[in-house]
Amino acid sequence: MRAALYTRVSTAMQVEDGFSLDAQLDRLRAYCASQGWTIAGVYTDEGQSAKTLERTALKQMIYDMTLRKIDVVLVYKLDRLTRSVVNLYELLQTFDRYTVAFRSATEVFDTTSATGRLFITVVAAMAQWERETIAERSREGQIQMTREGRWSGGNRPFGYHYREGQLTINDPEAAVVREIFQRYCSGQGIATILHWLNHPQRLQLAPNGHWRQWGLKYLLRNPLYAGYVRYGYRIKSVANQRYQGKPLIVRGQHAAIVEEATFSQAQALIKQKATTPRRDGTGKFPLTGVLYCGLCGARMTGFTWTRAKGGVNLRRYYVCVEAQHTRLCPMPLLRQEVVEGEVLAELAFQFEKFAALTSNRPLLDHGVQKKQQITALETQLRDVRKRSKRWMDAFESGHINSSELRQRLDGLKMREQEITLQWQTLQTEPSPTERNELKSILSSFHNTWESANIEEKKQLIHSVIDRIELRPGPKTGRIYSAQVTLTFKT
C-alpha cells in the first residue's frame, strides 16, 4: 500500500518529548516497514492547530488523494490529524470518496470497517469533550478567582508586577498611569496624551515599547487601577471581540494606583464624550474615507492650520492618523491642494489609459490575454507545489535534514503567496465593459469636480475609487510633493 505520512506539531508542543516532527516520522517509517508499505509522501504542518482544516500540508495531501496517489493515511496519533468531531467526519468522508484508509501508529484505529469508524468517532468526540471541559473549568476558575478579589490572569497589566500569584505596584510604570489619569481628568484628549507619551525626546514607559490609541483607552477604562478586578469585559464573537454588557467587578486584593474618585471622574468624562454629537464628517476634505497612508497603512484625515498675522491665513493638510496620534509613522503633513491635484492628474492618466484600451484593442483579445496570464500563473503554482513535494521526498529519503527542509519550504511558500496574489489581482481586474463604464465617468470627472461643492466632490470620489494610497514625494522648499496609487471600484 502507498502510505501518506502526516505529521503536525502545534507551537506549544514543538519541544515536548515524543511529539517532535522527527520523533513522529521515525515512528511512522518504522510502522510502514513493519506493514510492508511504501511511503507515497510526507506531509508536515509545523506550528499549526488541529482545530481547523486550513493547513497547508493537509490540503496538499487531500489534493494528492484526488490524483489517486495515496492508499492509506498514517498518523502518530489521532489528535495529530484533528481534534474536532465535525472535521473528523469531513475527513473520513473525503477518505471514503477516494478509497483511502486511515491508520494511527499508536492507537487501534481501522477505518475499513463500520465498527472501526464508530470507534474513531467516539474517541474524537471524547477528545473534543475533554478540551471543552478543560476550557469550561478554566473559565469557572477565573470567575472564582475574580469573586475572591484576585486577578484572573492574562498579560501583565501595565503598572504592576505579578509575582507568586499577587499583583504588586511597579513604581516607575505606576507614575505614568497616575499622570495619564491626571491629564485626562484635567481636560486633555486622547491625542494630546498620546503625543506626550510618544514624544521622541521624552518617551514614557509603555506596555509594548510605545503607546497606541486602543491601549490608552483600555487603560483609562480598566477598574484594576482603582483597586478592582473584573471578568467578562470582552466576549468572543464570530467576527471579532465585543464588549460584554455586565462584567463581574469585585474589590481586589491588590493596591490601587489611582484613587477611586479619580477613576470615577475619568469614566464620567468618557461617557460624556461618547454621547457628544459629532460633526457631519463632510468638512473641507473630500478624499477622507478612501485616503490611506502608503507608509503605515493607517487612514488619513484632514487638518486645518490657522495663523493670525496680518489677517487669518488658513492652510489645509492631509495627515496620517498614526502620525498624528502616536508620532510612530514618518508621514509628513501634505498640502490639500498638492494631494488633490495629484489625484486629479492620476485620474486623467487613467482616463487616457482606459481610452486606449477600449478603443485600440478588441474585447476578445483582452479576454484571451487575461485568460492566458491566469493559466500561466496556475502553471507556476503547480510547479511550486511540485517542487515542495520533491523536497519532502528528499527529506523522506534522508538526503536532507529537517532544518534544510524547513528552509526550502519557507522560500517556496513565499513564492506561492506572491503568485497567488498576482492570480487574485487578475481575477478582480475590471473587464473591458467595466472599463468602458469607467471611461465614461472619468471623461467628465474634471469638469464635474471643478463645479462641485465639497460634499459633491466626496460623493464623486467615492463613486469610482475604493482606495487611495498616498506617499510623500520629493520636497521643494518646505512643501512635499505627493505620489498616489488609485484602486478603482469593481
Half-sphere exposure of 321 (CA within 13 A, CB side): 13
For the chain, how are helix, strand and coil distributed in percent, rounded to 5?
50, 20, 30
Q: Which residues contact 142 (CB under 8 A, 6 or more apart)?
A: 152, 153, 231
User: d(Cα 357, Cα 361) in Å, to the nearest integer?
Assistant: 6
Q: How does DSSP assign 25-53, residue by residue?
A: HHHHHHHHHHHT-EEEEEEEEES--TT-S
* DSSP single-letter state for residue 250: E
* DSSP single-letter state for residue 64: H
Consecutive H or E run containing 465: strand 465-476
The answer to whether the CB of 78 falls within 8 A of the CB of 104 is yes
Select which of 10, 20, 402, 481 is catalytic: 10
The answer to whether the CB of 170 falls within 8 A of the CB of 160 is yes
The answer to whether the CB of 149 falls within 8 A of the CB of 164 is no
User: d(Cα 455, Cα 282) in Å, to the nearest integer?
Assistant: 6
User: d(Cα 62, Cα 57) in Å, to the nearest integer?
Assistant: 9
Q: Which residues contact 429 (CB under 8 A, 6 or more apart)?
A: 370, 490
Active site residue 10: yes
Label residue 100 exposed, middle or buried (CB < 10 Å: 0-12, 13-18, 19+): buried
Beta strands in 275-419 (DSSP E): 291-293, 300-308, 312-320, 334-335
The answer to whether the CB of 198 falls within 8 A of the CB of 191 is no
Q: How many CB atoms lie within 10 A of CB 112?
A: 11
Query: Quick check: helix, strand or coil at residue 101?
Result: strand
Beta strand 248-251 pairing with 228-231: antiparallel
Active-site residue list: 10
